[in-house]
């Protein structure tokens, strides 16, 4: 039996530094293929392959659609595409729906690897905000694979590894310096012979969604139950999905959210709407001021007073919205060093 020779790694904020150190500690010729998702801007090309090539001895490259993975190589998700793994080690790049506000996202890679390779998969979650990677880690673990997370106490942004720790029993919680030796050990040590992984129907459905498969209401009902919430991306109905302790949401189109990522997306949409409302109200206020001045010049004092009253109401609304927009709020993600202790 092979070892854990399919290694999938996810990172977000602070991930370039973490991945650089991790790859720099890996030996050339490791008997595993490594696939990496780093949250990046959808409009800029990823420079991560070049950075990783300078950092270590393992060749790193941008993943290419229909390429077949090889051991001793690193494949990096390109911008604005999900990186998926299929039968025969064939890479698929899709422009599927965003998950947890990102494309590429970590969960689709983890899910597709577990669906295809079951217990041969080792998943690693590094530094990052919010909780992408948690749902995918649950799938890897249920498939008989191994999950390791960076110790949140040393991560630049502890949210992602901390979320995994809070929602499942991880196999390893380690400082970054100890993750590379672990991966070498997992890749070289044959895994125990296990029965063929019977992929649950839910995993198959969600993997197919990442491949842009059409999903009907009947299909979505197999994942969960319709909720009272609407998708922040497309305004469609969201289905509530229960994964052990983790609650998730997915719409029929395929956009997927954890509660934290949905709150972040909703907050962004609300802020955009408030700025638009503020602009419109300020234009109204300017017009009311001109009308007050004009009517007073024409000695239409009654009409001027009515416009002035409307102006006061508008200025009150402007002040209220400005207060909401400009007040300081606590960040959604946790600051380093302000988290409960995680056992390793």
**pLDDT for residue 333:** 46
Residue by residue, DSSP assigns 299-331 as: T-HHHHHHHHHHHHHHHHHHHHHHHHHHS----
The reply to whether 30 and 179 lie within a common domain is yes
**pLDDT for residue 328:** 52
- CA gap 97, 251 in Å, rounded: 10
The reply to whether 246 and 265 lie within a common domain is no
Counted domains in the chain: 3
Rg (CA), the chain: 25
The reply to whether 184 and 308 lie within a common domain is no
**pLDDT for residue 341:** 37
The reply to whether 49 and 103 lie within a common domain is yes
Residues 6+ apart with CB under 8 A from 20: 51, 52, 55
What tokens were used for 283?
């234009």
For residue 93, how many other CB atoms are within 10 A of its CB?
A: 19
Residue 202 lies in a domain: no
Residue 85 lies in domain: 6-188
The reply to whether 53 and 66 lie within a common domain is yes
**pLDDT for residue 44:** 82
pTM to 2 decimal places: 0.82
What tokens were used for 269?
């949409």
Place of tokens 């790049």: 93
Q: Which residues are catalytic?
A: 12, 39, 132
The reply to whether 220 and 146 lie within a common domain is no
**pLDDT for residue 196:** 56
The reply to whether 278 and 230 lie within a common domain is no
Residue 207 lies in a domain: no
Residues 6+ apart with CB under 8 A from 195: none
The reply to whether 129 and 31 lie within a common domain is yes
Q: Is the peptide bond before 286 cis (omega within 30 degrees of 0)?
A: no
Mean pLDDT by 10 residues, the chain (344 residues): 94 97 96 98 91 96 97 97 96 95 96 95 97 96 96 97 96 98 96 68 87 83 92 92 91 91 87 90 94 93 93 93 74 45 37
């Amino acid at each position: 039996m092979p070892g854990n020779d399919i290694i999938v790694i996810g990172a977000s904020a602070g991930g370039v530094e973490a991945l650089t150190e991790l790859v720099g500690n890996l030996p050339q010729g490791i008997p595993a293929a490594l696939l990496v998702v780093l949250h990046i801007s959808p409009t800029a090309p990823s420079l991560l392959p070049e950075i990783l090539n300078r950092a270590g001895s393992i060749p790193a490259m941008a993943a290419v659609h229909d390429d077949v993975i090889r051991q001793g190589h690193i494949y990096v998700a390109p911008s604005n595409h999900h990186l998926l793994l299929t039968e025969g080690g064939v890479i698929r790049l899709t422009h599927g729906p965003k998950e947890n506000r990102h494309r590429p996202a970590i969960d689709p890679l983890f899910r597709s690897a577990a669906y295809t390779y079951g217990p041969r998969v080792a998943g690693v979650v590094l530094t990052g905000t919010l909780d992408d990677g948690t749902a995918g880690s649950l799938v890897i673990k249920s498939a008989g694979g191994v999950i390791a997370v960076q110790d949140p106490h040393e991560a630049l942004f502890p949210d992602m590894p901390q979320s995994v720790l809070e929602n499942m029993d991880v196999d390893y919680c380690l400082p970054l310096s100890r993750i590379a030796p672990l991966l070498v050990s997992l890749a070289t040590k044959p895994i125990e012979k296990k029965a063929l992984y019977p992929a649950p129907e839910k995993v198959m459905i969600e993997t197919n969604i990442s491949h842009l498969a059409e999903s009907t209401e009947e299909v979505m009902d197999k994942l969960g139950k319709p909720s009272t919430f609407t998708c922040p991306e497309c305004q469609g109905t969201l289905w509530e999905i229960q994964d052990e302790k983790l609650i998730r949401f997915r719409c029929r189109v395929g956009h997927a959210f954890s509660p934290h990522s949905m709150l972040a997306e909703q907050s962004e949409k609300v802020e955009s709407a408030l700025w638009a409302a503020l602009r419109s109200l300020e234009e109204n206020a300017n017009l009311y001021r001109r009308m007050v001045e004009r009517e007073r010049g024409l000695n239409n004092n009654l009409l001027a007073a009515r416009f002035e009253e409307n102006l006061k109401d508008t200025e009150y609304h402007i002040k209220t919205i400005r207060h909401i927009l400009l007040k300081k709020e606590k960040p959604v993600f946790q600051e380093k060093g302000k988290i409960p202790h995680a056992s390793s």
